[in-house]
Amino acid sequence: MDTIKRIELVIPAIELKPVLRRLEKVGMDKYSIIRDVIGRGEFGESTDDLDGQLSSVYILTTCPAGEEETLYLELQPLLQKFGGVFLVSDAVCYRC
């Protein structure tokens, strides 16, 4: 029952592997992934038509307060280059 940070990422599907590598690097090795996310952002529309190479994935993970900064520093170059969303909110974790 800890108060933790709940991190949400929406990133291009083709960036999933490098992003997970960085998540694990900073010790956030528990996460959930929802694939086939579509939407619209600064880089235009993200769809799953054709081969799905423009679709996005949604990643949910948690961390103790403060560590979200570490992750952000790690991910920032990727986010800047390939786009994506990085949201942090507060939550209480009963099991995670």
Ligand X SMILES: Nc1ncnc2c1ncn2[C@@H]1O[C@H](COP(=O)(O)O)[C@@H](O)[C@H]1O
d(CA 63, CA 68): 7
How far apart CA 4 and CA 52 sit, in angstroms, is: 34
Number of residues in contact with another protein under rule CB under 8 A: 18
User: Binding to another protein (CB under 8 A): which residues in 59-88?
Assistant: 77-78, 81-83
Residue 26 interacts with which of another protein, its own copies, ligand X, none, CB < 5 to 8 Å by class: none
The total of other beta-carbon atoms located within 10 Å of residue 61's CB is 21
> Which residues lie closer than 8 Å to 90 by C-beta, 6 or more apart?
3, 4, 5, 6
Q: Which is nearer to ligand X, 75 or 84 (CB)?
A: 84
Q: Which residues from 13-42 bind another protein, rule CB under 8 A?
A: 14, 18, 36
Under rule CB under 6 A, residue 41 binds ligand X:
yes
Cα–Cα dist 2/82, whole Å: 33
Please say which residue, 1 or 17, places its beta carbon nearer to another protein. Answer: 17
* Rounded least distance, CB 31 to its own copies, Å: 5
